[in-house]
Structure 1
């Protein structure tokens, strides 16, 4: 049975079967809008509640109509974030449906599929910029449809997407990272995610220096750790954090960004010895002022 027949059989109401056919797309849009799989699932559920109560007799494009409802729902969430505390954001969605909340593994899988750096940059955009960029650049929705959702002109929607695109790409030219730099950073992430201590030690120069600012642990003073084995042990202790960490351009140089639910918590910058490809220095930055001063872009 095709979508048209399903809608006809349901009269002027949207059938659950038709909605379920659109759920994967709606979830994908909502996740990129909100950066949290749990919040995305709640936005999709809210879309179903609104759509199922509406008269669909005049709806010509069910997919587009549902996408509009979902994105407006997400837009309301984004606009409300500035006036809500972080802890409320993390507990409000799905609190009455704990069994329906995505697992940490599902959140990690979703973040990896989209890209940690992209989620972080999207989180820096205004709600309208984020909507315009996500709908147009990621889902190829025309600007006239986006404009209707935002209640703006198509030209204004185009400008929003353009500003967001520049932020995603970054304005600082990418540093000429060697293949050794890329291999070292990628391998460092893989080793910390899997807890492979020996592989991590092999990546580090024997005299490697790790520095972490006071907000990382936190401590009154910056932390300095010396030596490959000591640095590797510290990295192993942060294996759980590594699950929400991914490659990013940090002031034009390849590094790592940790961002649970798409919200930046800390970054790691690396110095790699050109000849050996070993990591000679790692800096961990978590102080809000320092993070805000960084230009983070998609690698």
Structure 2
């Protein structure tokens, strides 16, 4: 029955990632689910997909309780761990791509574990309230209440209205300017009210607070490039439904820049520098 499990793997990873904001932890949850699947009496499993969704959701709920305490002690600004867009399940609409953006994943941090579970199952996987109630062992009425609270806390998903090709051109221009040290070129790509966030997790030097404003962000990016030293190579990637840039030194991934593009300009730059949060991408790339 390993084939049946593998058929559900991508969906389970997408569910766990949206619940936890960590690709590495999501992989661990999927592996734990596999161990439970291997030891289960399959004759009593009416719907493998529903059974696995329940297992994964409850494993994530257990982890979220511990994660909340850990994040309260986190050094600097916490960002979700970047994940390849293609690993996050069907994203056939712009709204669904926006809903896996780093900006939206941060909004999910406002929710209690139960609210997050209901919201993710409802919004990302189109579960009905009866199905959600079965997964969480709650009443349908309770699930409706949790969803309503979650919807109010999250609000509307951030919208990044630039078409895919336009976003790619803007990021390619960013790459060209970064490679050549063209600060004026970088500045022309940024909105007046651009904001940059960095996550070093206390492992590497990073700004502990958001940097706001075009001139300040340009200086910040220039300083970040200078700290990175010589021999840094930049490449393009599609992460969290957004255009991103990978920075490598000596072939090793050292930073990920995820861009929020709206109105033809870069309005947000989220930089993941914490090496622990880059390990999953390193493993995928073999670097």
State the TM-score, normalizing by the size of structure 1: 0.55
* Higher alpha-carbon Rg: 1
Report the counterpart of residue 235 of structure 2 in structure 1.
Answer: none
Q: 2: CA distance between counterparts of 1:56 and 1:227? A: 58
Structure 1 counterpart of 2:187, from 179, 190, 204? 204
**Offset of 1:217 from its aligned partner?**
3.8
Q: Does residue 1:258 correspond to 2:236, yes or no?
A: no
**Offset of 1:258 from its aligned partner?**
2.4
Instruction: Give yes or no for contact 1:242–1:258 (8 Å, CA) kept in 2.
Output: no
Mark the CA change 1:259 to 1:132 in structure 2 (over 3 Å): closer, same or farther: farther
**Offset of 1:55 from its aligned partner?**
1.1
Mark the CA change 1:168 to 1:21 in structure 2 (over 3 Å): closer, same or farther: same
Q: Does residue 1:23 correspond to 2:9, yes or no?
A: yes
CA deviation string 1:154-182 (max 9, x = no partner): 122122222222333359xx99x999xxx
Mark the CA change 1:192 to 1:78 in structure 2 (over 3 Å): closer, same or farther: farther
Task: Flag structure 2 segments of 5+ consecutive residues without an equivalent.
Answer: 75-80, 89-96, 198-204, 229-244, 248-253, 274-287
Report the counterpart of residue 84 of structure 2 in structure 1.
Answer: 109
CA deviation string 1:51-91 (max 9, x = no partner): 21111212111111111111111111111223346789xxx
Q: 1: CA distance between counterparts of 2:4 and 2:36? A: 14
Q: Which has the higher contact order (CA 8 A, sep 6+)?
A: 2
1:131-170 pair list within 5 angstroms: 131-170=117-156
State the TM-score, normalizing by the size of structure 2: 0.57
Task: Flag structure 1 segments of 5+ consecutive residues without an equivalent.
Answer: 1-14, 89-105, 262-299
Report the counterpart of residue 79 of structure 1 in structure 2.
Answer: 65
Q: Secondary structure at the match of 1:44?
A: helix
CA RMSD of aligned residues (A): 4.7
Q: 1: CA distance between counterparts of 2:180 and 2:111? A: 37
Structure 2 counterpart of 1:129, from 115, 118, 130? 115
Report the counterpart of residue 37 of structure 2 in structure 1.
Answer: 51
Instruction: Give yes or no for contact 1:143–1:154 (8 Å, CA) kept in 2.
Output: yes
Aligned length: 215
**Offset of 1:246 from its aligned partner?**
3.6
1:1-20 pair list within 5 angstroms: 15-20=1-6
Instruction: Give yes or no for contact 1:191–1:199 (8 Å, CA) kept in 2.
Output: no
Instruction: Give yes or no for contact 2:129–2:144 (8 Å, CA) kept in 1.
Output: yes
Instruction: Give yes or no for contact 1:201–1:232 (8 Å, CA) kept in 2.
Output: no
Instruction: Give yes or no for contact 2:57–2:117 (8 Å, CA) kept in 1.
Output: yes
Q: Secondary structure at the match of 2:46?
A: coil
Q: Secondary structure at the match of 1:245?
A: strand
CA deviation string 1:127-165 (max 9, x = no partner): 111111110111011112212333322122122222222
Q: Secondary structure at the match of 1:204?
A: helix
Report the counterpart of residue 258 of structure 2 in structure 1.
Answer: 245
Q: Secondary structure at the match of 1:69?
A: helix
**Offset of 1:46 from its aligned partner?**
0.5
